[in-house]
Structure 1
């Protein structure tokens, strides 16, 4: 057996994380708002503000998670994805022994715990895979930066490459289109008229897009357009909107809630598609399924159909495997990630969407 077959490749799956008990809600929120990628104030101001926000929001957030049994399902669903991806990679002849690890940003397992496991396993190379198809400094960027800092702290120094974004990856688009077609047909079957599709993504403050040159909004639009193109339904009524706004800052829009209200005025059926989330969590299971449904019911919207996230859909997992291999090719050809690439902004230019990041010139 060749040396290449013997090499161990660690695949690090990044996700947001979620509280695993009612008691974890407040510290989870603190970790979220204490992230400089979320609130860019210097310390001690960011720390104090994070303390204040997490204390005020904890009771409301605990009520939200009470609908989910007191905890987020995100870790279990991400573990299912990790297991499926690991099986897919090891079933193919890629020359590696692959093992998938999970690193959550704001709750357990944290990056430092996962990095120690990767080091103990004796990985020869690492591929970093954010479970965010569209890049943002607030999500993928924050997770990768945190991971690199942890690796320096524990002296985990092996070849490493990041899949920065994959907004139009065929597996992701095909899986999403399959599920949207099913939801669209369910709405049609109720004979209330042609539905309107709302591709709903988590919003960000407008300043994130304008001041950081963040490609998130552009890539959300690319993903939605690719799904619509794949569905190929003539005259389809659709648009992109954004949910989960918090705080007084101006956020990108239109908001999902505003678009639900507009659909009420237009008396059209709705099909809601979470386009930035690949696993179910509070923003889908509570915000979309309960809170926004109540608004739709109050407005007497004739149909409110919510499409599930792709989770471990076989086409999505195949798409992730493809992203890994494209990223591996970039690692082999172009070398490892550099800190300067990450801190200067690391994403695909608007005119070229690819699975792997290219450092700016």
Structure 2
């Protein structure tokens, strides 16, 4: 067993300067940034899956139509997203846990607003990193989130000529420490909600995740399957006898058919059943517009309209100590896996039918080479 109190041997893994790159969506930092943020989002080929010659014009059209409601939502938050500041707090907290055992620094690469991947690549190089760990702040892999960020990072590294030993953690949907820390947060929120309700009123947990068009899932994106695995892992650790729960999906953004049931429909069902709801954002690990506005404001109004006898929300993990410890464990595991691409458990976890799992894509690329 390694004694971490001893100085690392020259050239050993723990003597390297490790850049841990946190991937996240990003958000506008001012009212003026809302439109370009939306354009970046809706012109991403991972999001808008139409022929390339159509994408710029169609993406800008969708962004223009979304601008007014998005501006109204961000106005509730003071005209900007809090996501970068919260991600920076997570980065500093994770560094504090990792640094006693390795020379690590956490960097942030946002997908649709600053700091972009190319900015982060420069910062990683300037720091003198000798190794990179890519850590998405999305527990579940989707081609639209983690997949897009990985492609963006790789392209930024190619353009900058940065070639360092890199480990990519693709997903951590069922990581035991993540599930345990999340269950503890849900359990606290459950007891707080339960204390505010009459004993005879039921309480249903709604695990709400960002939705996806059905076409993307049918193509082999593993996101929905991984969301279901996360919920199962958390519920296994809840230790609340008889707790009722359901999975639902929010934030539909296009006219296509999206995976369901929608969060609106799940709230309406609770209203018909006369049970209160405790909404848990199961695919987000920090607060942003989809939790602070969509869940806290818009869906609360839906619940009141539908006659739901109580509406409560589980906070996201943010810098919860056990959650940050789980991220540190994931970094350690990824570095020790000996793999350039790894899941929370090492190799591929998704069923064979999920052909857009990054492990499946990597195998396909290897066969084609």
TM-score where L is the length of structure 1: 0.91
Partner of 2:210: 202
Alignment match, 2:367: none
In structure 2, the residue matched to 1:152 is: 158
Residue 138 (structure 1) aligned to one of 144, 147, 161: 144
State the match for 1:226 in structure 2.
233
- Structure 2 gaps of 5+ residues are 1-6, 365-369
Q: Is the 8 A contact 1:348 1:357 kept in 2?
A: no
Displacement of 1:259 in angstroms is 0.7
Partner Cα distance (1:283, 1:7) in 2: 38
Q: Does the 8 Å CA contact 2:147/2:358 hold for their aligned counterparts?
A: no
1:25-46 CA-to-partner distances (Å, cap 9, x unmatched) read 0000000001000012232310
2:304 corresponds to 1:303: no
Secondary structure of the residue aligned to 1:196 is strand
SS of equivalent residue, structure 1 residue 143: helix
Candidates 241, 251, 254, aligned match of 1:244: 251
Per the TM alignment, residue 297 of structure 1 is displaced from its structure 2 partner at its CA by: 1.3
Alignment partner for residue 242 of structure 2, among 206, 218, 235? Answer: 235
Given the alignment of the two structures, is residue 86 of structure 1 paired with residue 95 of structure 2, yes or no?
Answer: yes
* CA separation of 1:286 and 1:347: change in aligned 2, threshold 3 A: farther
Within a 5 Å distance, the mapping from 1:271-350 to structure 2 comes to 271-330=278-337, 333-334=338-339, 336=340, 348-350=349-351
Q: Is the 8 Å Cα contact of residues 20 and 135 (structure 2) preserved in structure 1?
A: yes
The CA RMSD measured in Å over matched residues stands at: 1.8
Give the superposition deviation at 1:347: 5.4
**Corresponding residue for 1:60?**
69
- Tell me the distance in 2 between the aligned counterparts of 1:191 and 1:326: 42
SS of the residue 2:109 aligns to: strand
Offset of residue 171 of structure 1: 2.5
- How is 1:100-119 mapped onto 2 (pairs within 5 angstroms)? 100-119=106-125
Counterparts in 2 of 1:139 and 1:150: CA distance versus 1, 3 Å: same
TM-score, normalising length: structure 2: 0.90
The question of whether the paired residues in 1 share the 8 Å contact of 2:202 and 2:274 is answered with no
CA distance, structure 1, for counterparts of residue 350 and residue 302 of structure 2: 38
The number of equivalent residue pairs is: 343
Q: Which of 93, 106, 124 lines up with 2:130 in the alignment?
A: 124
Tell me if the contact between 1:165 and 1:357 (Cα under 8 Å) persists in the aligned partners: no
- Pairwise CA distance, 1:337: 5.3
Residue 232 of structure 1: CA displacement? Answer: 2.3
Provide closer, same or farther for how the CA distance between residues 347 and 104 of structure 1 changes in structure 2, counting only shifts above 3 A.
farther
Residue among 36, 42, 45 paired with 1:36: 45
Give the match for residue 3 of structure 2. none
Aligned to 1:343: none
Contact 2:169 2:341 in 1 (8 A): no
Structure 1 CA distance for aligned equivalents of residues 348 and 36 of structure 2:
31
Equivalent-residue separation in structure 2 for 1:40 and 1:151 (angstroms): 24
Q: List alignment gaps of at least 5 residues for structure 1.
A: 339-345
- Aligned mates of 2:312, 2:191 — CA distance in 1: 10
